[in-house]
């Protein structure tokens, strides 16, 4: 029987002295300067690490030599006044390490990679697609790696620049993933965000744990792919259709025309749309939407299922995987489009499918659609009606305005969600510590 000698618990009065001190119960966002003010009477500080721990209220301070650290600990051990920062008592003890490692001297240097701790959830509760959706609001997400640690479920999220990462951190730190993106049993799910020292994550597979959105050809880990969406058997025990790169969309409550172009706009938010076909079935309208790969399709399916193309519950999407893998459609008709064929008057994505990239507004596919594509479908639109729930600036609801006013997928009983949407940015416009304002529209992140 082992008694676990490796885990010798050290009590404070038997703790080995170290020139590194561990400070806890620090005030919110305690700055390095405040730590230096507190500690410098006892010696010279050569390194610090701030905003440590899940609450970011701990820090480490390293003195040049051990005696300085001992003098500080001894002083406060016998002092009638506790150590304080901003009037808050700070608890000090020797660190169980002898030096601060891996610190770029400030402890909180802005980098392009964020370390996100998702509190209050099991790893299965928050899919990597949801994480991608949330963080894509701030810019193109290059890579995501998720893992479990003692701290909980964590993710490393790689952006292009520290500036974009900072924007995401400032907007989201301490806030929650929108409830409607979480399983119903989750009540709170706070994000704790700091900067990682990484600059480029090394992603080996597209899987339920990790993604590289810059490399659509990265192999998919076959054992992991089922974690990206529903498994073959649903929660009710019914068999689900196998995953496919082609989605079958049924459109309910179709009060407004849903054209190929509209579908292209909606589904392009998740990756390159290769082909679209629209047809009637049982008096309703259905469409097939082809992506280059299954993962993109599953992201789109998970994100759009049950959502409406237009505000007011109109044109509700119901998505399943099609049995097709490659549609055979007319390159350019009012019921179908093949975006992979050049010289149809429609610009196609010039390179191989960029399935893991955002389609920024005014992507070539789209701007081209205004010109060569006949406007024959347009009169089907009621010009007085908002498009995607966003009023158009002009009376004529041109395609461009649809793109520039980001589509909102208004779901019944849930706020509109729009992937990669710039409109969400306004939701993060508040100060990190500002209380939720009742005068604002409902906040998606609280």
Residues lying near DNA in the complex (CB under 7 A) are found at: 11-12, 15, 20, 22, 24-25, 49, 52-53, 55, 57-58, 60, 91, 93-97, 99-103, 111, 115, 145, 147, 149-151, 154, 156, 194-198, 201-202
Which tokens go with 203?
């992603």
Phi, psi of 416 (to 5 degrees): -65, 140
Whose CA is closest to 258, among 188, 301, 310, 180? 310
Q: Which is nearer to DNA, 11 or 238 (CB)?
A: 11
Q: Which is nearer to DNA, 73 or 269 (CB)?
A: 73
Q: Least distance in Å: CB of 100 to DNA?
A: 4
Question: CA gyration radius for the chain?
Answer: 26
Which tokens go with 263?
């579908």
Which tokens go with 179?
């409830």
Give the integer Cα–Cα distance in Å for 206 and 228.
10
Which tokens go with 62?
């390293």
Q: Least distance in Å: CB of 223 to DNA?
A: 18
Helix (H) and strand (E) counts for the chain? 8, 19
Q: Which is nearer to DNA, 32 or 293 (CB)?
A: 32
Which tokens go with 13?
């009065």
Give the integer Cα–Cα distance in Å for 420 and 356.
12
Q: Least distance in Å: CB of 101 to DNA?
A: 6
Q: Which is nearer to DNA, 20 or 133 (CB)?
A: 20
* Cβ contact 59:53 at 8 Å: no
Q: Least distance in Å: CB of 92 to DNA?
A: 9
Q: Least distance in Å: CB of 220 to DNA?
A: 18
Q: Show Cβ contacts of residue 413 under 8 Å, excluding neighbours closer than 6 positions.
A: none
Q: Least distance in Å: CB of 241 to DNA?
A: 33
Residue spans of alpha helices (H) in 290-410: 294-304, 364-370, 399-404
Phi, psi of 83 (to 5 degrees): -65, 140
Q: Which is nearer to DNA, 61 or 347 (CB)?
A: 61
Q: Which is nearer to DNA, 22 or 208 (CB)?
A: 22
Q: Which is nearer to DNA, 72 or 390 (CB)?
A: 72
Q: Which is nearer to DNA, 193 or 390 (CB)?
A: 193
Give the integer Cα–Cα distance in Å for 217 and 168.
27
Q: Least distance in Å: CB of 162 to DNA?
A: 12
CA angle 375, 377, 378 (to 5 degrees): 65
Q: Least distance in Å: CB of 224 to DNA?
A: 15
Q: Least distance in Å: CB of 33 to DNA?
A: 18
Q: How many CA atoms lie within 13 A of 116 on its CB side?
A: 36
Q: What is the DSSP letter of 91?
A: E
């Amino acid at each position: 029987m082992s008694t676990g000698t490796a885990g010798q618990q050290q009590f404070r009065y038997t703790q080995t002295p170290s020139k590194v001190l561990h400070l806890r119960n620090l005030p919110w966002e305690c700055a390095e300067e405040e730590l230096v003010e507190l500690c410098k009477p006892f010696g010279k500080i050569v390194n610090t690490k701030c905003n440590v721990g899940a609450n970011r209220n701990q820090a480490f301070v390293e003195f040049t030599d051990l005696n300085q650290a001992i003098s500080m600990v001894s002083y406060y051990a016998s002092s009638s006044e506790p150590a304080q920062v901003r009037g808050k008592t700070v608890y000090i003890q020797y660190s169980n390490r002898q030096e601060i490692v891996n610190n770029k001297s400030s402890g909180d240097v802005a980098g392009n990679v964020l370390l996100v701790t998702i509190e209050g959830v099991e790893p299965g509760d928050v899919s990597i697609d949801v994480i991608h959706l949330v963080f894509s609001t701030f810019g193109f997400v290059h890579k995501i790696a998720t893992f479990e640690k003692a701290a909980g479920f964590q993710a490393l999220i790689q952006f292009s620049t520290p500036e974009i990462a900072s924007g995401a951190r400032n907007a989201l730190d301490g806030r929650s993933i929108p409830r409607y993106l979480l399983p119903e049993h989750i009540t709170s799910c706070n994000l704790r965000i700091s900067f990682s020292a990484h600059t480029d994550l090394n992603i080996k597979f597209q899987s339920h744990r990790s993604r590289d959105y810059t490399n659509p050809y990265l192999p998919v880990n076959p054992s992991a792919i089922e974690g990206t969406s529903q498994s073959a058997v649903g929660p009710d025990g019914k068999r689900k259709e196998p995953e496919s790169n082609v989605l079958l969309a049924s459109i309910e409550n179709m009060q407004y025309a849903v054209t190929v172009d509209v579908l292209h706009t909606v589904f392009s938010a998740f990756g390159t749309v290769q082909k679209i076909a629209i047809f009637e079935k049982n008096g309703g309208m259905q469409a097939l939407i082809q992506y280059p790969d299954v993962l993109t399709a599953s992201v789109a399916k998970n994100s759009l299922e049950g959502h409406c193309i237009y505000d007011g519950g109109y044109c509700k999407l119901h998505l399943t995987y099609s049995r097709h893998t490659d549609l055979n459609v007319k390159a350019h008709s009012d019921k179908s489009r093949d975006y992979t064929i050049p010289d149809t008057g429609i610009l196609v994505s010039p390179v191989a499918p960029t399935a893991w990239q955002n389609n920024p507004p005014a992507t070539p596919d789209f701007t081209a659609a205004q010109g060569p594509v006949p406007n024959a479908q347009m009169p089907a639109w009621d010009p007085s009606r908002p498009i995607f729930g966003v009023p158009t600036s002009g009376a004529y609801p041109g395609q461009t305005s649809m793109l520039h006013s980001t589509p909102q997928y208004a779901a019944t009983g849930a706020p509109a969600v729009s992937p990669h949407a710039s409109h969400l940015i306004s939701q993060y416009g508040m100060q990190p510590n500002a209380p939720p304002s009742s005068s604002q529209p409902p906040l998606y992140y609280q």
